Amino acid sequence: MKKPLDNIKVLDLTHMLSGPYGGMILADLGYEVIKIEPPVKGEATRRLLENDPDYSLNGMGAYFYTLNRNKKSVAIDLKNDDGLKIFYKLVKKADVVLSNFSAGVTKKLKIDFDNLKKINPKIITCTVSGFGESGPKFQRPAFDQIAQALGGGMSITGLSSQEPMRAGIPIGDLGGGMFAVMGIQAALIDRVSTGIGQNVDISMLDCQISMLNYMATMQTMSGIIPEPIGNSHFVHMPYNSFLTKDYPIVIAAVGDQFWPRLLKIFKNPELQDPIYETAFERQKDKQKLESIIQKELLKENADYWLHELEKESVPCARVNNLEQAIHDEQAQHRNMLV
């Protein structure tokens, strides 16, 4: 099957997660992605989990297999003059050079934008780093949890401000990779009209701040610093995870139109009080109302309640474990597990 961007060539110098994830998305979209690794040991994740009985195959771990699918591969020693000459030859025919070295490394290796544009004026370079390529502390080392911590997301995740919780998936790294793809796409479109390349400077911290979105707006408007509230919501109610006889489920009643439908399912007289017709009033007694709903839900298993809730068109879902998630019939239909 022809993919939309299979005429674009990318030199992928990335390692670990943020950069390789961006390169993986580009490869999935059809870019010709050539992963360039140092000789002998290769990129760090090539050996990560290599001997783990559960998470390796043929001497390589799950990280490397996932992040480098659809990519071509070559080993070049960029610290060697002969290796650098080979890399420059590739740059002449490439469209994009993607990297996520520590700050200053590309310049030291003579593979930064200022050097590469002399070889190919149309080249687009994209660097993914913890803090970008400028600023008072941009040279600090960073990994996923550093970006999550500094970006504010950890402070509103979990149950207590005294016990901040990182996201279960590495959104600090993954966010950097996704924003890198957006930046590269924008630079490619711009090159159509200008005929020249540019450097795309991606900061993982920038990405985390961007994803705060409306919550950042609310804070700057009010001066109020939000605290974590678990799986509930500060506006909508009920909007939370609940236990059943077997699997936990989520009810996400966004809007007052769902409350009368819930009352058809949960017939407890305290819930029927007309004062609770609006989310504003329900929020005042959130703990009490959620406790009533929780007691009801414990009487049956998840499938029973999901059937009842779906019958009334109330937004709901089982909280899937990973195995359940990748085998979900909708995910299967969309070919998410190949």
In the set 12, 173, 201, 206, the catalytic residue is 173
Exposed e or buried b for every residue in 108-125, given b needs 16+ CB within 10 A? ebebbbebbbeebeebbb
Structure tokens at 189: 């479109």
| Triad 184, 143, 117: Cα angle to 5° | 30
- Among the listed residues 295, 317, 298, the one whose alpha carbon sits nearest the alpha carbon of residue 307: 317
Helical H segments across the chain, by residue range? 18-28, 62-67, 81-93, 105-109, 113-119, 144-150, 171-194, 204-212, 214-222, 259-265, 279-284, 286-297, 302-311, 322-326, 329-333
Dist. CA 16–CA 323, nearest whole Å: 24
**Burial classification of residue 195, based on how many CB atoms lie within 10 Å of its CB (0-12 exposed, 13-18 middle, 19 or more buried):** exposed
Dist. CA 317–CA 338, nearest whole Å: 24
Tell me which amino acid residue 258 is: F
- Which residues have CB under 8 Å from 108's CB, separation 6+? none
Give, as one character, the DSSP assignment of residue 134. Answer: -
Collapsing DSSP states into helix, strand and coil, what is residue 211? Answer: helix
Sign of the C-alpha dihedral computed for residues 28, 31, 34 and 35 taken in this order? negative
User: Among this protein's residues, is 173 annotated catalytic?
Assistant: yes
**What amino acid positions are annotated as catalytic residues?**
173
